[in-house]
Chains A and B, each alone.
Chain A
Amino acid sequence: MRGFLAVMICVFLAAGCGQPFLAPNQQPSPDAPGKIRVAFVVNNASDFWKIAEAGTTKAANELGVEVLFRIPSAGTAEQQMQICQDLITLGVSGIAISPKDPANQTAMLNETAARCNLVTQDSDAPQSNRLCYIGTNNYEAGREAGKLIKECVPSGGKVMFFVGTMDAQNAQDRKKGIDDELANSGIVLDDVRTDETDRAKAVANVEDSLLSKPDLACLVGLWSYNGPAILNGVKSSGKLGQVKIVCFDEEDATLQGVKDGHIYGTVVQQPFEFGYQSVRVLTDLAKGNKAVVPESKCIYIPTLSIKQDGVDAFWARLKSLTGKS
């Protein structure tokens, strides 16, 4: 009995201590009557989602709604399921989720869709009952990257792709986009190396590939950290300037590489818009406005290609969004 009491006291203390650590928009607020409450669920913790969070905050302030922003700490599909169940219990009218494993999460997504307005963002689950998808068309993003590759190796040559895992839909779509864009251009894909999101291994993959294929013309990083990893590996192999680099997303090291001229260009998504548009759509849906969802059930947010000439302006805007100095 004494043990039980001690445990209970610990639990209460922990719960009490937990309060001050909650992020501002995770603080449980008293149920304001009539205030629409929507949720934004991401797939892991990263800078990318910091930007999206800024978008949700802006929309929340403009539209006068409450946004619950949730990050699954382990980044697993099971955790997303728990989070959705808890959010429904909290009485949200809609959830925008980036499903971790769309193909195998259909049942969970449908269960959630039956109880609130569900939209997918960033990563789609077309076979589920989600109302619409808001995010990048990764195939088109791949084609953008393909254009960059053609610009920087006009005479053709071999390219190699680096990515965390190829089973993610966005990796497959991006690759297909690049493949289609490069068809008949004299540029051929040599191989795809995966690193299972281990950044140290991502660097080693680049070093090993530069050694085993000295004739590579261009290295392409499909996921955000692959850009810095490629730059790092090319540097340590002493091949800076000899191979071109094209990558995705906007890690600081990537942007610095673009600025220094070591990376030819990077294709960036606009996560700020994911956040902003998701909250806008969910708010409209909560008000009963079904017309906000287009016929195609897809709201595509275009990507931007950032090269040396545009990097300063883009970076400045990014810093103001994420609050980094």
Chain B
Amino acid sequence: MRKVFGLIFLLVILSGLTAAWEYHLMGSSRFLSLANLKNLLPWIGLYGILALGQAMVIITGGIDLSVGSVVGMVGILTAVLVDKTAMPAILAALIILCLSACIGAGHGLLVAKVNMQPFIVTLCGLFLYRGIARFAAEDKSQTLGDAFGGLSWFGAGTVLDLLPGGPPPPGQPMSLFMSWASILAAPFLVMLMVAVILGAFLHFSPWGRHLLALGASEDAARYSGVRTVQLKILAYITCSVIAGVAGLLFGFKIRSLGPSNFGEFYELYAIAGAVLGGCSLRGGSGNVLGVVLGVALLMVLRNLVNLLQISSQLEYVVIGGAILIGVFLDEMFTRRAERMRKKSVAGARAA
């Protein structure tokens, strides 16, 4: 919980500094405007979904490097399937999502049963699925969305589209209620839903506690009767299916998908978001709210580089530097808290 407060604190400080800087420069803040929130939320949603799936695997002490390629493969294969076979889009999507579940099961089996290292298994996946996507699409860029009709709302829509009467014509002033509805982006809502489901599983069910225990010490968990193999496989399946869903949503949002680069490097955003959100790469710790906030922080950083007109060349410096400082401070606070605890224990003994 301490990590969550830390992240909220960091977000508030960052937003405050950005807004103050904007006021200093031009007397108003675009960063804190509703329009910017409207721009930010869909991206937080899309990358957040990926990071939540990734967190499940990281908690077991594993890692999934293939999520970017799974995003690419699911988006591209679905588009190709709809294009070539003229089957209903929803059926194509379900078939491909089943395929991504199989991919996850494959990763899980190789890691948990065969004892291969997750880094290697999923690194091979990264190459494999990218290649499959390119081969299936013959390197031609694809488009997703039109075939799905109303379903593409989940990637590109907002609550405003659902209101009776739909969105008002552009230029017409919107009521306060409507402008808030236009901010609530569908992918963000999907992410909240995923977060609630995973949060309930992880923090309020015995299996979630087992998953954390397994990540902290696999042997200890196994000897205490936790079904480690099944749980690990489940974690990898969850991650891949979630990546698949994200693949479809990203596809609806971006629309024009290049087989060779759609989803490339997204695994790094997912991992960075999860780690920033308090998941330890050593396994055994992590919470859903933290991951959501971690991704939000990443996206806010990316956003403010654009808004403050910081040169694009410096963007990675800002993001890399901010993550490093965040993780460093977190480590310092953890140590300090540890020392305080020891001191108070020693004090209690002396007394």
B8 near A: Cβ within 8 Å?
A: no
Given A45-B139, A50-B139, A200-B250: A209 touches B306 (CB 8 Å cut-off): yes
**Chain B interface residue bracket vs A:** 35 or more
Instruction: Tell whether B141 is near chain A: CB-to-CB under 8 Å.
Output: yes
Report yes or no: A46 in contact with B258, Cβ–Cβ below 8 A. Answer: yes
B205 at the interface (CB under 8 A from A): no
* A324 contacts B140, C-beta separation under 8 Å: yes
**Contact (A199, B254) CB under 8 Å given A46-B141, A237-B39:** yes
Given the complex, which residues of B lie within 8 Å of A45, measured CB to CB?
134, 139, 259-260
Given contacts A75-B260, A204-B306, contact A193 B139 (CB under 8 A): no
Q: Of A191, A200, A209, A322, which contacts B46 at CB under 8 A?
A: A200
Residues of B within 8 A of A212 (CB): 30, 306-309
Q: Could you tell me if A253 and B143 are in contact, using CB atoms closer than 8 angstroms? A: yes
Task: Report the bound CA distance from A251 to B256 in whole Å.
Answer: 9
* Closest Cβ–Cβ distance, residue A172 to chain B (whole Å): 14
Minimum C-beta distance from B190 to chain A (A): 16
Chain A residues near B306 (CB-CB < 8 A):
193, 204-205, 208-209, 212
Q: Is the CB of B170 within 8 A of A44?
A: no
What distance in Å separates the Cβ of A238 from its nearest Cβ neighbour in chain B? 5
Q: Is the CB of A200 within 8 A of B309?
A: no
Partner of B256, one of A191, A228, A322: A228
Given A191-B309, A193-B306, the answer on whether A211 and B39 have CB atoms closer than 8 Å is yes
B3 at the interface (CB under 8 A from A): no
Check if A49 is an interface residue, CB within 8 A of chain B. yes
Q: How far is the CA of A322 from the CA of B139 in the complex (A)?
A: 11
* B264 lies within 8 A of A71 (CB): no
The bracket for how many chain A residues form the interface is 35 or more
**B309 to A198, Cβ gap below 8 A?**
no
Docked Cα-Cα span, A122 to B138, in Å, equals: 21
Asked if B139 contacts A238 (CB within 8 A), the reply is: no
User: Once the chains are docked, how many angstroms separate the CA of A191 from the CA of B30?
Assistant: 17
**B33 & A211 in contact (Cβ 8 Å cutoff):** yes
Q: CB-nearest residue of chain A relative to B308?
A: A212
Q: Indicate with 1 or 0, residue by residue over B107-140, a CB within 8 angstroms of chain A CB atoms.
A: 0000000000000000000000001001100111
Are A200 and B307 closer than 8 Å at their CB atoms? no
Is B224 among interface residues, defined by CB-CB distance under 8 A?
Answer: no
Please tell me if A305 contacts chain B, counting CB pairs below 8 Å.
Answer: no
Interface centre among B143, B254, B309 (most CB of A within 10 A): B254
Q: Please, which residues of chain A bring their CB within 8 A of the CB of B261?
A: 197-199
Do the beta carbons of B264 and A236 come within 8 Å of each other? no
Residues of A within 8 A of B200 (CB): none
Find out whether the CB atom of B134 lies under 8 angstroms from the CB atom of A200: no
Q: Inside 8 A of B15's CB, which chain A residues have their CB? A: none
A106 shortest CB reach to chain B, Å: 25
**Per-residue contact bits, chain B 159-181, to A (CB 8 Å; 1 contact, 0 not):** 00000000000100000000000
Question: Is A199 within 8 A of B309, CB to CB?
Answer: no
In the assembled complex, A203 has its CB within 8 A of some CB on chain B: yes
- Contact pattern, A 193-222, Cβ under 8 Å of B = 1, otherwise 0: 110011111011101110110000000000
28 residue pairs bridging A and B, Cβ less than 8 Å apart? A45-B139, A45-B259, A46-B141, A46-B258, A47-B139, A47-B141, A50-B138, A71-B139, A73-B134, A166-B312, A166-B313, A192-B312, A194-B312, A197-B261, A198-B264, A199-B256, A204-B306, A205-B306, A208-B39, A208-B306, A211-B30, A212-B30, A212-B309, A225-B141, A229-B256, A251-B141, A251-B256, A324-B140
